[in-house]
Amino acid sequence: MNIAPKDDPEPPAVKQFLETGVNPYNEKAECLPLGNFLYLSSCSGCHGHVAEGKVGPGLNDAYWTYPKNRTDKGLFETIYGGAQGMMGPHSDKSINEILNIMAWIRHLYAEDPKKARWLTPEQREVFKPYVEDKSVEHGTAELAQAVPADQCGTMRH
């Protein structure tokens, strides 16, 4: 499956995701600032600043409006292809950008890690439910641009 634009070189994480359906950016700390920025600029208006839900459903708990979103493959399909008329398709984002957004959404999870199917057993052992630290700056373009492109890919714009 290759849905990336021809002029957008795919980072290794994209190839890995397309082969396995598992997001390699999940809980990869160095990539989270990019996912945070992209989420705030594309998703927070409907899903809330910390995915608590607004017009759109909450994304930070164990309840999924679309059960397939419990898996990375399912969440990708929903973001890329849209959600039954409510949320339009996000084909405006590269696969890499969507993977970074998904990693941020997964990072915002605030419930029992045992219910988080997307975490590996090793990640479940150390996962701490998200608590926003308002004393720390986050979600800025500067922080997003500072992520290592060789490990997290880049933004299109």
Spatial distance between the Cα atoms of 126 and 140, rounded to a whole number of angstroms: 26
**DSSP secondary structure code for residue 89 in this structure:** P
Q: Pick the closest to residue 32 from 117, 104, 102 (CA basis).
A: 104
Classify the C-alpha dihedral 125-63-25-14 as positive or negative: positive
Sign of the CA dihedral with 78 first, then 6, 11, and 37 last: negative
Tokens 């999940």 sit on residue: 26
| Amino acid code (one letter) for 123 | Q
**Phi and psi, residue 83, nearest 5°:** -125, 85
Residue 31 assigned as binding residue: no
Is 152 annotated in a binding site? The answer is no
Q: What angle do CA 36, 86, 138 make, to 5 degrees?
A: 10
Binding-site residues, please?
A: 43, 46-47
Binding-site residues for heme c, please?
A: 43, 46-47
